[in-house]
Amino acid sequence: MNSNATHKWVIGLTGSILSGKSTALNYFATQGVATLSADEIVHQLYQVPKIKKRLQSYFGTIETKEIASQIFASSQKRKWLERFIHPLVKKELALQIKRAKKPLVVVEVPLLFERGWDKMMDLNILVMADDKTLPARLRERKMSLAQYKVRLKTQWPENKKTVLADVIFFHCTKNDLKRKVERFCSAFEKLIPN
């Protein structure tokens, strides 16, 4: 996304599953930043009648949890869904970014680097959590370690993403992550005045 053309900065926000990227997005929202979530857009698209019909036809259901269960069990089904839904999500994200009225727009995309969407952004932030906090994060999400590992395999390893990220938020606690977001927003305001 070319910031000179839009008069705003668009920042990609990503991280592995349970890294805290959604929490970081919420912290950005509390700082008055425009925020968008690719996952939220997916949920909205799932409600569109013709999309529901395609999903029902392919998966035999329109239940989000059941579809998730199927795509994490079958790479073929996951690839089908990605080919079908990702172009629609990308188009909707571009529209919502264009409509945003604030100078800073943060867009949470789980597969930001994997899909090459980092090239749409002016800057990309990778959220990483301390491995020691994983058991607590699993309990909070009611997810087993086995489920976590299956989902993690569908994403690039963190060391591959760290090379591509412009900024890394490594955190041990939610308060630590909150402070990093606050500092980033404060620095942004000083560097890029409205």
CATH number at residue 132: 3.40.50.300
How many residues would you count in the chain? 194
Residue 125 host element (H or E): strand 123-129
Decide: pTM greater than 0.75. yes
DSSP state of 66: H
Flag whether pLDDT at 68 surpasses 50: yes
Q: Looking at residue 6, what is its pLDDT?
A: 45
C-beta of residue 142 within 8 angstroms of C-beta of residue 65: no
Flag whether pLDDT at 145 surpasses 50: yes
SS3 154: coil
Strands of the sheet containing 167-171, edge to edge, are 34-37, 104-108, 9-15, 123-129, 167-171
Structural domain harbouring 96: 3-191
Q: Per the structure block, which two tokens stand in for 139?
A: 């309990």
Percent of the chain with pLDDT over 70: 95
**Strands, E, within 9-101: which ranges?**
9-15, 34-37
**Number of structural domains the chain divides into:** 1
